[in-house]
Amino acid sequence: MPGIKTSAAADLLGVSPSTLRSWERRLGYPQPRRTPGNHRQYDLGEVETLREALRQTGNISSAVEVAQRRGRGLASPARLLQAFDSFDEAAADRELEESLAIRSVERSVEELLLPALELAVSRPNHQAEFEHACRWAIGWLHSARRLAPPATMPEGVLLLDSGSPLGLEGVYVQALELCLRRSGLRVLLLSANLPSRRFGSALRALRPVAIVLCGTEASLDIVGAPLRRALRNGDSVRIHGYRTAQLVAGQRGVPLLGSGPSEAAERLLASLAGSPTPGPATR
């Protein structure tokens, strides 16, 4: 959620909206962000922390000091979005570090990073902020990928991305790669727009048991002759779609892995293990 309105924050604190605004002016806390319409949006974690401190101290000045010392509670998408809007990379780093202290990497990605980007992309007048957010997110995911342990499974998975790497869908693909690597699989991520001969060398090097097509432009026609031959001749190679891929393969269709990286990774692992993977219908 992007935050709560002034009236809701004031109700939680048991004061009037004008009193809440006076605390903001005099004490600088809680500090709301501004919407495109210039309305205040308060972080729920900050408000709840201040409410508890106020209950304990009975004095707003002391309560603000206590709340600031305790921090703002659990890292949230709204706070990460605020860091993106301020072009504050250090603040964004802190939000993810706080999350990793109590969440796994996968949960931090799905409960903090991706929701913050979903909020960022919904605002057409904040293109610069959104581009910065995507660049930061991709850099963070690359760093997390480098820290992933070596593959523990022999199976290889080829991800083919048909979209631009700088955008929401591109970040979702990077997140899927990270989740698959952390699950122990060997993973290779390539652009689906590479010359067809490059797919042949990639297939020989990776020997994938599964290929996942990603991006809104993903189709079986864009992946080149070597890949199509491998899919036609090798029964052991499975093809899947991820998120926005629009795929059709004969009458049965191509199974979709889901809309989130953790869900997609779980479904792919279940598929490789031969277990049923109930969920999204094929296209």
Q: How far apart are CA 268 and CA 239, in angstroms?
A: 10
Tens-binned pLDDT, residue by residue, of the chain (283 aa): 457 899 999 998 999 999 999 999 999 888 888 888 888 999 887 887 888 888 888 889 988 888 877 665 566 787 898 889 999 999 899 889 888 877 899 999 998 999 999 999 988 889 999 999 999 999 999 999 999 999 999 999 999 888 777 899 999 999 999 999 999 999 999 988 777 667 778 888 888 999 898 887 766 555 555 566 655 555 578 888 898 776 654 445 678 898 899 999 999 999 998 855 444 434 4
CATH no., domain 77-145: 1.10.1240
Over residues 252-283, the pLDDT tens digits come to 567 889 889 999 999 999 999 885 544 443 44
Q: Domain 151-272 adopts which CATH fold?
A: Rossmann fold (3.40.50)
Domain boundaries, the chain: 6-70, 77-145, 151-272
Distance, in Å, from the CA atom of 135 to the CA atom of 141, rounded to the nearest integer, reads: 10
Report long-range pairs for 198-201 (Cβ below 8 Å, ≥24 apart): 198/224, 199/223, 199/224, 199/226, 199/227, 200/226
User: Is CATH 1.10.1660.10 the classification given to domain 6-70?
Assistant: yes
pTM above 0.85, yes or no: no
